[in-house]
């Protein structure tokens, strides 16, 4: 009797131990999966950061954005990978929500290529290949027909409203409801990012401010009016209109050199400059070339 009780107690102890180890194993697997996604996104910013601004300016065209989504997903054979990258770029402000919608549509089409590749494994048997390929094309046609209906609607309504189509307003409504209707004034810190960042930053720590500054592009140059007396050691050929987003980001990239930039009114207090709501700066192109284009894309 005592032996049976001891065996029962031992079995219960082993069950609890194995269950605990399994739970810890699942949690560890999820953690490493999230860490891998974060490292992948960070590596993408480091490897493609210098050209990120130029790469994603072409997504202003919805058809081009669709093609980018298809090609990116075909290359990595994972719509989750390409979608997570697009979501990260939207969160960083490098791609707008309206421009991201065609890319996500393209990712859905690109992921269906995997089915066709798998069906080719039956190439040795003609009948099996016909059945396998027929089943694979169901996914292809569903995604293509969805894009054929929704993409023109997004383009047409976007041209009418100036913002986006049905999907844009649905996503905006969901975001407003989830974030309390605060729009862009509310910031959200991802709990998963908070958990995995301490580890991923040890391996890859991209300077996202440089990438963001590159995606905003260079400042707008305007020819200086005739008859202006230029101070010594200053290029007065052009003045530059810098948006508030640029100003905020430039200060993060290189606070020291940004503080030395002179506004147009500091140099020419009696003149007015046509920059609208933007701030007028002198020699902002030199700052952009030195600190932004020549900036370090990866923190040390």
For 87-121, the pLDDT digits (tens) are: 766 765 667 788 889 989 998 888 888 788 878 87
Average pLDDT over residues 257-279: 85
Min mean pLDDT across 34-43, 114-123, 145-154, 272-281 is at 34-43
Rounded Cα distance between 295 and 207, Å, is 9
Of 201, 236, 205, 206, nearest to 221 (Cα)? Answer: 236
Rounded to whole angstroms, the Cα distance separating 241 from 218 reads 10
- The least confident of 73-82, 136-145, 157-166, 264-273 is 73-82
Q: Give pLDDT, residue 22.
A: 93
pLDDT exceeding 70 applies to what percent of the chain?
81
Q: Which residues contact 112 (CB under 8 A, 6 or more apart)?
A: 136, 139, 140, 143
Model confidence band, residue 58 (pLDDT cutoffs 50, 70, 90):
low
The residue length of the chain stands at 300
Locate tokens 């990260």: which residue?
88
pLDDT in tens, 173-182: 887 777 654 4
Q: Mean pLDDT in the chain?
A: 79
| DSSP string across 83-99 | HHHHHHHHHTTSS-HHH
Q: Is the pTM of this model over 0.75?
A: no
Which pLDDT score is estimated for 26? 93
Q: In what order do the strands lie in the sheet with 220-223?
A: 220-223, 238-242, 279-282, 262-263
The residue ranking higher by pLDDT, 18 or 216, is: 18
* Least confident interval from 23-27, 55-59, 102-106, 231-235: 55-59
CA distance 31 to 164: 36
pLDDT for res 237:
84
The residue among 58 and 102 whose pLDDT is bigger is 102
Q: Tell me, what's the pLDDT at 179?
A: 64
Q: Say yes or no to pLDDT of 57 above 60.
A: no
Ranges of each domain in the chain: 2-203, 208-293
3-state secondary structure (DSSP) of residue 280:
strand
DSSP H or E stretch at residue 25? helix 2-57
Per cent of the chain over pLDDT 90 is 6
50-54, 269-273, 276-280: least confident range: 50-54
Residue 140 and residue 74 in contact, taking contact as beta carbons nearer than 8 Å = no
Sign of the four-CA dihedral 121, 124, 126, 128? negative
Nearest-angstrom CA–CA distance, 296 and 300: 9
């Amino acid at each position: 009797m005592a032996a049976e009780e001891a065996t029962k107690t031992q079995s219960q102890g082993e069950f609890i131990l194995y269950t605990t180890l399994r739970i810890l194993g699942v949690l560890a697997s999820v953690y490493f999966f999230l860490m891998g996604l974060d490292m992948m996104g960070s590596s993408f910013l480091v490897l493609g950061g210098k050209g990120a601004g130029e790469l994603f300016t072409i997504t202003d065209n919805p058809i081009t954005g669709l093609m980018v989504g298809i090609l990116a997903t075909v290359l990595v054979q994972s719509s989750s990978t390409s979608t997570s990258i697009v979501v990260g770029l939207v969160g960083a402000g490098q791609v707008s929500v309206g421009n991201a919608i065609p890319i996500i549509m393209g990712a859905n089409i690109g992921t269906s290529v995997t089915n066709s590749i798998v069906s080719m494994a039956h190439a040795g048997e003609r009948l099996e290949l016909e059945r396998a390929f027929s089943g694979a094309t169901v996914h292809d046609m569903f995604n293509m027909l969805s894009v054929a209906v929704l993409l023109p609607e997004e383009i047409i309504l976007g041209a009418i409203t100036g913002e986006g189509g049905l999907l844009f307003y649905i996503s905006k409504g969901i975001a407003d409801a989830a974030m309390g209707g605060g729009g862009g004034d509310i910031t959200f810190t991802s709990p998963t990012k908070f958990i995995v960042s301490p580890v991923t930053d040890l391996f890859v720590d991209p300077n996202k401010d440089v990438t963001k500054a590159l995606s905003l592009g260079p400042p707008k140059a305007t020819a200086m009016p005739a008859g202006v007396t230029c101070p010594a050691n200053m290029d007065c050929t052009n003045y530059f209109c810098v948006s508030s987003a640029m100003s905020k980001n430039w200060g993060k990239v290189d606070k020291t050199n940004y503080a030395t930039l002179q506004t147009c009114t500091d140099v020419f207090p009696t003149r007015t400059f046509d920059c609208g709501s933007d701030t007028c700066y002198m020699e902002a192109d030199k700052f952009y070339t030195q600190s932004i284009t020549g900036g370090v894309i990866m923190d040390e």
